[in-house]
Amino acid sequence: MGPRPRPEVQAPMPRPVVQAPPPLPDVFKEITITEGVTVKELSEKTDRKAKDIISRLILRGILANINQPLDTKIAIEICREIGFNAKVVSFEEDVAREEAEDAVAANLKTRDPVVTVMGHVDHGKTSLLDAVRETEVAAGEAGGITQHIGAYHVRYKDRGVTFIDTPGHEAFTMMRARGARATDIVVLVVAADDGVMPQTIEAIHHAREAKVPLVVAINKVDKPGANLDRVKKQLSDQGLLVEDWGGDVVAVPVSAKQKTGISEMLDMILLVADIGELKADPTIAGSGTVLDARLDRSRGPVATILVQRGTLRIGDPFIAGAVHGKVRAMFDDLGHRVLEAGPSIPVEVLGLEGVPRAGDGFQVLEEEWKVRQIGAFRQQRLRQEAMAKASRLTLAHLFEQINEGQVKELPLVVKGDVQGSVEALEKALSDLPSDRVKIKIVHSGSGAITETDVNLASASNAIIIGYNVRPERSAQDLADKEKVDIRLHSVIYDITNEIRSAMVGLLEPESKEVYLGRAEVRQLFKVPKVGFIAGCHVSDGRIVRTAEIRLLRDNVVVHRGKLGSLRRFKDDASEVKAGYECGIGLANFNDLKVGDIIEAFKVEKVAAKSL
């Protein structure tokens, strides 16, 4: 046999050449894209072929066609890769920008002012609105407004005024929290006999935060206890100096009951409107704000729309927040069917595919397919937002957000047990030194933390500070839902220390309270050598023998400590659940009263979130 053939040595396989990503360009062009921009629209904006954008999407594991809406973050990344800095705006903002570019000054017409009436409960807001309505609505309309739609339009001296009839500043603030500016002027109603009250102060803060001019209507001037000078003094204490006293705030004495001063108030509203030079172009596509929406059993989804720009007509396709539709019918505030509505006119609209939220934007488009596309994209985004947590400002992340330049001021809502404590706390907080973040107190007051406070904090992205007070149960539930940070303390020094520590990123492990339950004191028994025992009904949760307790009187903390005893009939109990009666003795405390609330809780130490 001959020699074996030597096996051939195979040359080593060449390593695959990994192509480096193309370098980013030195100069970026600025472009504006809308939320839910499609591949086709992005190619037109950037002057690149659609297939190039699709290939970049494929590298990210995304298979897309030219009509597919893109995630905003991915659209920005792709723009940057091909040399563009993309600014993202909402669809309504983009339409408004295009209209502003194409605007013709000659088409701008003076529009009617939109007015919201606010003030303290029982100061006559509803009576004043009724007086305006009865005075100005054309005679022959039996009972004035035949169909209440939450807003109405009156004629006065050949001019128009639109009044938004809201339940007060709660609705006003909820709409502002969603970015809506539906009000041009706020009429602040103050009773001449009562003067400035807590809700009056809240209304002032809400209007000031929204940067809306105020007209003060001093109501009930016909009552025996009316004192105009006292009201003006109280207004000046809140920073509202009326014209009589050398200021710039218009104040009008009125009587809703006697129907006096109504014409003067309307004159002042029109004067403030003239100063504001309110104008709109009635020739463009209609847009505005959803004031209210509901599901009607016979007519389907119904929305009250305030048209703010352009003209809304029957048959117009539109997008309202995440809901699209086509105007099938419109009714004015008298219930009359109308064919079109111009700027500052409120109308009830039928033809929606769902129920939008109050405060959502409303925009008419020419292409019906476009409104369907935007509606579908926003519905998907709402589902994603519901799954993710809201990005609210919290003390735990304050330092991180300051460093990223996101926070330049720290808005706070401050509530305390008495006004003196509130003023001391405001001063202590305002004096905190910081060169990078400024503390801004949006609202302060005495008493329990209410839903109104939470709504204002939500609208202003503020943190609520409570000193010796507790949130109402409904307010706590709303704060949990809106992800509003509530910080409760009983020592002012602790509050200032906590905020100072958050500013420098040294927040200590926080004590998390776990709510257990509450019991209402219904009877008091004096037991020799023991003291007072409270006969209680457990209204919520459970009372545990080892728990810490807080005694609340009108939602203000009057004592904090431990239980001395917990009994069910004559036997000691380890816990008593909701619905049952029990006897409670407090350790080292006897100043109990019928109607007091005993709140049980336990404290757990939780490490502060990483900064």
What is the rounded distance in angstroms from the CA atom of residue 507 to the CA atom of residue 505?
Answer: 6
Sheet (strand 409-416) strand order: 438-446, 409-416, 463-467, 486-489
pLDDT tens readout for residues 306-331 = 888 888 889 888 888 888 888 898 98
The pair of structure tokens assigned to 431 is 């004096």
Name the amino acid, one letter, at 230.
R
Distance in angstroms (rounded) separating the CA atoms of residues 372 and 384: 19
Q: How confident is the model at residue 140 (pLDDT cuts 50, 70, 90)?
A: very low
Nearest Cα residue to 340 out of 300, 303, 307 = 307
- Give the pLDDT of residue 556: 81
- Interval 489-517: pLDDT, tens: 877 777 888 877 777 665 545 567 788 88
> Looking at residue 139, what is its pLDDT?
36
State residue 149's pLDDT score: 54
Mean pLDDT over 288-303 rounds to 83
In percent, how much of the chain has pLDDT > 90? Answer: 2
Quote helix, strand, coil % in the chain, to nearest 5. 30, 35, 35
Q: Tokens in use for 520?
A: 């209402």
Q: What is the pLDDT of residue 148?
A: 47
Mean pLDDT of 559-585: 87
Tokens of 423: 């003023």
Q: What is the pTM of this model?
A: 0.56
The whole-number pLDDT of residue 480 equals 84
13: tokens are: 């396989």
In degrees and rounded to multiples of 5, residue 575 shows phi and psi of -160, 155
Q: What is the CA radius of gyration of the chain?
A: 31
Give the pLDDT mean for 369-378. Answer: 78
Average pLDDT over residues 424-431: 80
Give the tens place of pLDDT for each residue, 224-277: 777 788 888 888 888 888 777 877 888 888 887 777 888 888 888 888 888 888
Q: Enumerate domains of the chain plus CATH numbers.
A: 29-89 (no CATH), 112-277 (3.40.50.300), 287-384 (2.40.30.10), 395-508 (3.40.50.10050), 513-606 (2.40.30.10)
51-62 average pLDDT score: 82
Beta pairing partners, 487: 465
Q: Give the tokens for residue 320.
A: 């309202």
DSSP letter at 23? P
Indicate the Cα dihedral angle 311, 314, 320, 323, nearest 10°: -170
509 burial level (CB within 10 Å; 0-12, 13-18, 19+): exposed
Mean pLDDT in residue range 209-228: 80
pLDDT score for 144: 35
Pseudo-torsion of CA 272, 274, 278, 282, nearest 10°? 140
Rounded to whole angstroms, the Cα distance separating 592 from 568 reads 19
Distance of CA 248 to the CA centre of its chain: 29
pLDDT of residue 611: 31
SS3 522: strand
Q: Specify the pLDDT at position 310.
A: 86
Q: At what angle do helices 198-209 and 169-177 cross, to 10 degrees?
A: 30
